[in-house]
């Protein structure tokens, strides 16, 4: 693959921002993937070309939301920061957030959770206590029947 000046500049600009090495490698990888897909220098591409590339990744390559989010971030940095193009397609190409469990519960959520657990514990305790009482009564009756 030819060395495109904008990809070299992308590498340098990313290094200046203090991004992690893995992030830099991923951003460059996606810039190269765009260049390979289009067969041209990314600096020579139009907004519609980038749009078509993103649609290709989503529809044909079946990229997952997190991967699309990374591609979009890489292209956003390349086209906005390096090439100075503020394209609308880079805003449209956002992936929906995956539904995840919260990392930590708030105090209110914990209080509600414990209240529910407490209620269920009390109910279970009542039920178990009732069964235990029934069991004791049946056992005592059967002892009486044996003894008499």
Instruction: Using CB atoms within 10 Å of the CB of residue 39, give its burial: 0 to 12 exposed, 13 to 18 middle, 19+ buried.
Output: exposed
Q: Where are the domains of the chain?
A: 5-92, 101-148
pTM (2 decimals)? 0.63
Q: At residue 145, does pLDDT exceed 60?
A: no
pLDDT at 22 over 90: yes
Residue 5: its pLDDT value, please?
92
- Cα 69 to Cα 86: distance, rounded to the nearest angstrom: 17
Name the residue with tokens 């897909």. 37
Residue 94: the pLDDT is 66
5-92 CATH, one of 1.10.10.60, 3.40.50.11740, 1.10.150.130, 1.20.58.220: 1.10.150.130
pLDDT tens for residues 62-118? 988 888 999 999 999 999 999 999 888 888 876 566 666 667 778 888 788 888 887
Q: How confident is the model at residue 28 (pLDDT cuts 50, 70, 90)?
A: very high
Checking if the pLDDT of 148 tops 60, the result is no
CA-based end-to-end distance of the chain: 99
């Amino acid at each position: 693959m030819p060395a495109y000046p904008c990809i070299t500049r992308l590498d340098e600009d990313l290094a200046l921002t203090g991004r992690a090495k893995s992030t830099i490698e991923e951003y460059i990888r996606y810039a190269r993937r765009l260049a390979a897909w289009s067969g041209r220098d990314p600096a020579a591409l139009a907004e519609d070309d980038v749009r078509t590339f993103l649609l290709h990744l989503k529809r044909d390559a079946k990229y997952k939301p997190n991967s699309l989010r990374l591609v979009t971030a890489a292209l956003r940095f390349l086209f906005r920061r390096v090439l100075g193009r503020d394209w609308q397609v880079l805003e449209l190409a956002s992936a929906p957030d995956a539904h995840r469990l919260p990392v930590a519960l708030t105090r209110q959520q914990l209080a509600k959770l414990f209240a529910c657990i407490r209620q269920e514990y009390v109910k279970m305790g009542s039920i178990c206590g009732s069964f235990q009482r029934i069991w004791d009564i049946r056992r005592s009756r059967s002892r009486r029947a044996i003894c008499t």
